[in-house]
Amino acid sequence: MEEENITTMTEFLILGFYEFPELQIPISFLFLLIYLTILMGNLTIIIMTCLDPRLQTPMYFFLCNLSFLDISYTSVTLPKLLDVSLRNSHHISAIGCFTQMYYFLFSVCVEFLLLTMMAYDRFVAICHPLRYSVIMNLRLCVLMAIGSWIYGIVEPVTHTVLVSHLSYCGSREINHFFCDISALLKLSCTNTSTIDHMTSVLAVLVVLPCFLLTMTSYIYIISSILRIRSSEGRRKAFSTCSSHLTVVTLFYVSLTCLYAKPTSMQSLDLNKLIALLYNVLIPLLNPIIYSLKNRDLKEAIRKVVKRTQFPSTQKKIFLVSKG
């Protein structure tokens, strides 16, 4: 290709769901409702965990990290989608685009590690309940969480730098609802095999061990649950980990479908639909799944609601008892 046709982009156009021009307003309100639900649900988990001492356990500590992560990366992708749909504002600067891509990759890396830690936490709780408080102590939990966030910050830097230095052949239209790395690689006229190889190495060194550790934890968990004699005991034990297993399954299926194939074999239209599963459905389901299947969290929410609904009644009871 001639040198003059190769350009360094200063601006991109995010197409969003341009295939449905007549549905842009309904799509906007749908995603606005989903975004507000994600914020409210995940903030509820974080607030309840901070307010209720019974929820200040390793499981909820990691769940708080996961909720904060869900809020973070949906706040990076969904507001721009709303801007595209409502105001028809497709333009995004190259710096803004690469920054958005970085935060998305960052969130993916952190979530892989957080889900693995949550699986290990459930393994210790069910398979070694008497040693749970000793093994999953506060120091270990904090170190594991800090390590996850530091790794998430550092790992995407190389991918982001390489993608930002690619050359693009005229077209600046990103067929996606955010600056996804697969969509950017499709626009490039530079050989992207180096980035494909790096992604494969990352999958082997990080994703595969996380997957194996998670699956191994659940094999031991299910084996321990099946050895419980009472059906009620089995039901309670399985309910503590089934929600997490649901989230793990959705996460790995969506990410595998998105990035397991080389860039040349990927379909951007299909990637865009699958990305909705990770960007929208999983953050939306996380608080619903964890709150509906957890009695302690529901009880904490119920107490806070009662406290806000009847503050004067509680004050009178307190004054009478004091008198």
pLDDT tens digits along 89-128:
888 998 999 999 999 899 988 998 999 998 899 899 888 8
- pLDDT, one tens digit per residue, over 12-38 is 989 888 877 788 888 889 899 999 999
Q: Is residue 203 part of a domain?
A: yes
- DSSP β-ladder status, 91-93 and 11-14: antiparallel
Split into its structural domains, the chain has a count of 1
Whichever domain contains 175, its CATH number is 1.20.1070.10
Residue whose structure tokens are 């990103």: 174
Residue 176 lies in a domain: yes
CB 124 within 8 A of CB 131: yes
In this structure, is residue 125 part of a structural domain?
Answer: yes
Q: What is the pLDDT of residue 317?
A: 47
Say yes or no to pLDDT of 80 above 90.
Answer: no
Q: Domain for residue 307, yes or no? A: no
Going edge to edge, which strands form the sheet with 11-14?
91-93, 11-14, 173-174
Q: How many CB atoms lie within 10 A of CB 281?
A: 13
Specify if 1 maps to a domain: no
φ and ψ of 188, to 5 deg = -75, 145
pLDDT of residue 143: 95
| Residue 302 maps to a domain | no
pLDDT at 310: 57
Mean pLDDT of 300-323: 59
The answer to the question of residue 155 being in a domain is yes
Q: Which domain holds residue 221?
A: 11-297
pTM comes to: 0.84
Task: Assess whether pLDDT exceeds 90 at residue 235.
Answer: no
Asked if residue 252 lies in contact with residue 275, where contact means CB atoms within 8 angstroms, the answer is: no
Is residue 311 a part of any domain in this protein? no
Whether the per-residue pLDDT at 43 is higher than 70: the answer is yes
d(CA 85, CA 107): 24
> Residue 153: pLDDT band by 50, 70, 90 thresholds?
very high
Structure-token pair, residue 297? 């969290």
